[in-house]
């Protein structure tokens, strides 16, 4: 499946390359075997991860993942030239991750391979009510250091997309942001979780100094403004960044720039798993921005892509679904030309 590439855009994502392992389990398994309770995400050791995995006898779906990676994979599928910067282990899982990304059409050459670390993994357990409970071993993903990144990683590129989790490595994230800005890249940041917002008291400074487009969900927005309404968080974020987005789940998204404001409805479907929904919304939105679309049109693209990922377990959208997405986006573009 091929689409017309967006020649002028060359995008790099920075984040944690994680191999997603998606399984269906019952509530009893989560409570008694996985530990930590139902819902949310808990970081565990490689040994703990393997112990839980060995207890699962149901079928496992395996796919490359990670927040920024999901967004970058989606852009790759839509025809954008992409690269990814992160670290995997020198193991079968790391090889699988890089090969899958290359097969999509992405450039995996900036993914560092570490001999002394396993590739990061996330066990995503889906319970009968479609709620996801995650146990994560970051492995090699947290081994990338500031010393391993330099200006040549960003030369010739036009856009950087970063996941908020990267901010936990202060030296690395600040060096990446500075290098990208010095090389003239526009920068988008997905805040990733309310824990990220809570942890970084200098977040306003980071947004103001480096970030052009910021994505937040309702929980992150509330944390950013000490519990105020999403619209107030949006206004505050838009004072710091060129474009601010607050995603509201089934209620859609609100978007503001210096000159425009809009509310974009969600595309309501029968959802089975929300894994990657926000990441894929960012895929569609960035694609629209790259194509020169309005905030509302770009947001509509985001809603289209995210509506497909919630129909499946995990964030690995099928080729059939991508064809549907591309067809829908093209139809919207044609209607815009004719109106």
**Residue 295 has what pLDDT?**
97
pTM for the whole thing? 0.91
Res. 6 pLDDT band, cuts 50 70 90: low
Whether residue 38 lies inside any domain: the answer is no
On whether residue 127 sits in a domain, the answer given is no
C-alpha span between 224 and 79 (Å, rounded): 34
Q: What is the DSSP string of 253-293?
A: EEEEESS-EEEE-------S--TTHHHHHHHHHHHHHHTT-
Q: Which two tokens stand for residue 209?
A: 């100094």
Flag whether 59 is in a domain. no
- Residue 336: the pLDDT is 73
Residue-wise pLDDT for 269-325, tens only, equals 888 777 788 999 999 999 999 999 999 999 999 999 999 998 887 788 999 999 999
Spatial separation of the C-alpha atoms in residues 250 and 215, rounded to whole Å:
16
| 182 and 160 Cβ atoms separated by less than 8 Å | no
Residue 211 above 70 pLDDT? yes
Residue 315 inside a domain? The answer is yes
pLDDT for the residue numbered 5? 45
pLDDT tens for 61-112 read: 899 999 999 999 999 999 999 999 999 999 999 999 999 999 999 999 999 9
Answer yes or no: is 112 within a domain: yes
- 3 pLDDT exceeds 50? no
Over residues 173-184, mean pLDDT: 97
- Percentage of residues in the chain with pLDDT exceeding 70? 97
Does residue 60 belong to any structural domain of this protein? no
In a domain? residue 230: yes
CATH number of the domain bearing residue 296: 3.40.1190.20
Q: Is residue 130 part of a domain?
A: no
**CA angle at residue 191 from 161 to 318, to 5 degrees?**
60
pLDDT of residue 1: 40
Our count of domains for the chain comes to: 1
Cα dihedral across residues 177, 181, 187, 191: positive or negative: positive
Give residue 151's domain range.
10-16+66-116+139-338
């Amino acid at each position: 499946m091929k689409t017309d590439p967006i020649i002028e855009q060359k995008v790099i994502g920075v984040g944690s390359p994680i191999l997603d392992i998606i399984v269906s389990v019952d509530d009893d398994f989560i409570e008694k075997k996985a530990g930590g309770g139902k819902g949310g995400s808990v970081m565990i050791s490689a040994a703990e991860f393997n112990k839980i995995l060995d207890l699962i006898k149901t079928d496992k779906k395996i796919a490359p993942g990670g927040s920024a990676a999901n967004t970058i994979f989606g852009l790759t599928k839509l025809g954008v030239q992409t690269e990814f910067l992160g670290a995997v282990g020198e193991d079968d899982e790391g090889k699988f991750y890089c090969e899958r990304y290359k097969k999509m059409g992405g450039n995996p050459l900036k993914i560092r391979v570490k001999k002394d670390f396993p590739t990061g993994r996330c066990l995503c357990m889906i319970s009968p009510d479609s709620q996801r409970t995650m146990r994560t071993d970051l492995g090699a993903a947290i081994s990338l250091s500031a010393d391993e990144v330099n200006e040549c990683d960003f030369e010739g590129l036009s856009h950087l997309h970063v996941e908020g989790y990267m901010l936990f490595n202060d030296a690395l994230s600040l060096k990446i942001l500075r290098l990208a800005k010095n090389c003239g890249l526009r920068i988008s940041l997905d805040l990733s979780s309310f824990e990220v917002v809570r942890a970084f008291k200098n977040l306003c400074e980071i947004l103001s100094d480096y970030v052009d487009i910021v994505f937040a969900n309702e929980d992150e927005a509330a944390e950013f403004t000490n519990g105020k309404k999403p619209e107030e968080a949006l206004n505050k974020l838009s004072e710091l960044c060129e474009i601010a987005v607050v995603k509201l789940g089934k209620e859609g998204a609100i978007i503001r720039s210096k000159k425009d404001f809009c509310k974009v409805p969600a595309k309501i479907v029968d959802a089975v798993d929300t894994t990657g929904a926000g990441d894929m919304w960012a895929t569609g939105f960035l694609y629209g921005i790259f194509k020169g679309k309005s905030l509302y049109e770009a947001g509509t693209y985001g809603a289209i892509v995210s509506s497909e990922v919630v129909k499946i377990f995990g964030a690995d959208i099928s080729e059939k679904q991508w064809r549907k997405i591309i067809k829908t986006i093209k139809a919207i573009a044609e209607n815009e030309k004719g109106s």
